Structure 1
Amino acid sequence: MADSGRGYVRDRRGCRHWGPHGAAGLLLRQDGRFLLQRRSWRVHHGRTWSIPGGALHAGESPWEGARREFAEELGGVPEIRRIHTFVDDHGGWAYHTVVAEVTGSFSPRRGDGEGAAYRWCAPDEVGSLRLHPGFAATWPQLLAELDGLR
């Protein structure tokens, strides 16, 4: 099957994004910490910290796409429970951050090479890292939404 998520699209503001159907990533939480991925030097905004994710395929839900991308980039998905989906809508294109709690044991593995390293971070550590610009812009809002769910 052809990858229907390949290609660039422009949002209503004229900004260019990868993935004509939007994109999604999976942010795991365990024991109050979040799993972040340092992006490989060879990908867009390489050597920054973010979450495993990527373009959605046609007809794929953010939950399905986030899990698929996570499995590709970390070699599998642990047992998880979905907590929340944060949507960063750019007007005609959106990035969906699916937040899930790890319910079993999990150790990240090397997947497709898009990630160079992985790290569990407390919420107050995240802002001190060199973050992917999109993730950096939404992190405070995402964290506030998660705090509001308690």
Structure 2
Amino acid sequence: MADSSRGFVRDARGCRHWGPHGAAGLLLLRGEDLLLQRRSWRVHHGRTWSIPGGALEAGESPWDGARREFAEELGSLPALRRLHTFVDDHGGWAYHTVVAEALEPFRPRRGDGEAAAHRWCSRTEVAGLRLHPGFAAAWPQLAAGLDGLDRQHG
């Protein structure tokens, strides 16, 4: 069976994106810090910082796709509490940033090789990193939106 998540598509603006069904990533929070990964030199926009994520499979929800990609790229997945999903709609193609907090301590392991490194960062540290262009473009809206998220259990 062919993998329906592979391939480039063009959005309404004429920009090229990987994944005909859109893409999703998981922004994991630990208190005020967030987990970023440095992309391997072998992948598109390598040596930049972003969140674990990638193309959605046909029929896959952003929540399921973000968790799948996170587990593939960082070797495991902690128990999570979903907080919010930010959608960056490009007209015919969208990137879904799923924000969640870990309900248990999490330490990334070796995944599928798409991540060269990972680190917990404060929001102020993010601005000083060489970011993936898509993540860099979305970061101001994401950072502002994080302030309004309810992180209280219950």
Q: TM-score range by the shorter chain?
A: over 0.9
Partner Cα separation in structure 2 for residue 146 and residue 46 of structure 1 = 26
Q: Offset at 1:31?
A: 1.9
Partner Cα separation in structure 2 for residue 91 and residue 82 of structure 1 = 25
Does the Cα contact within 8 Å between 1:74 and 1:111 map onto a contact in 2? yes
Partner Cα separation in structure 1 for residue 41 and residue 29 of structure 2 = 25
Deviations along 1:59-81, whole A, 9 cap, x unmatched? 00000000000111011110110
Partner Cα separation in structure 2 for residue 31 and residue 66 of structure 1 = 20
Q: Hey, what does 2:38 align to over in structure 1?
A: 38
Q: Hey, what does 2:100 align to over in structure 1?
A: 100
SS in 2 for 1:29: strand
Deviations along 1:3-32, whole A, 9 cap, x unmatched? 210011100011010000000000100021
Q: Does 1:62 align with 2:62?
A: yes
Deviations along 1:21-67, whole A, 9 cap, x unmatched? 00000010002100000000000000000000000000000000000
Q: Could you tell me the TM-score, scaled by structure 2's length? A: 0.95
Residue 45 of structure 1 aligns with an amino acid whose one-letter code is: H
Does the Cα contact within 8 Å between 1:84 and 1:146 map onto a contact in 2? no
SS in 2 for 1:3: coil
Residue 124 of structure 2 aligns with an amino acid whose one-letter code is: D
- Superposition pairs for residues 48-59 of structure 1, below 5 Å? 48-59=48-59
Gaps of 5+ in 1: none
Q: Hey, what does 2:127 align to over in structure 1?
A: 127
SS in 2 for 1:6: coil
Identity of aligned residues (%): 79
Residue 106 of structure 2 aligns with an amino acid whose one-letter code is: F
Residue 112 of structure 2 aligns with an amino acid whose one-letter code is: D
Aligned residue pairs total: 150
Partner Cα separation in structure 1 for residue 54 and residue 14 of structure 2 = 20
Q: Offset at 1:146?
A: 1.6
Gaps of 5+ in 2: none
Residue 17 of structure 1 aligns with an amino acid whose one-letter code is: H
Q: Offset at 1:2?
A: 3.3
Q: Offset at 1:149?
A: 2.7
Q: Hey, what does 1:147 align to over in structure 2?
A: 147
Partner Cα separation in structure 2 for residue 55 and residue 117 of structure 1 = 20
Q: Does 1:19 align with 2:19?
A: yes
Q: Which 4+ residue blocks in structure 1 deviate beyond 2 angstroms?
A: none
Partner Cα separation in structure 1 for residue 54 and residue 149 of structure 2 = 26
Q: Could you tell me the TM-score, scaled by structure 1's length? A: 0.97
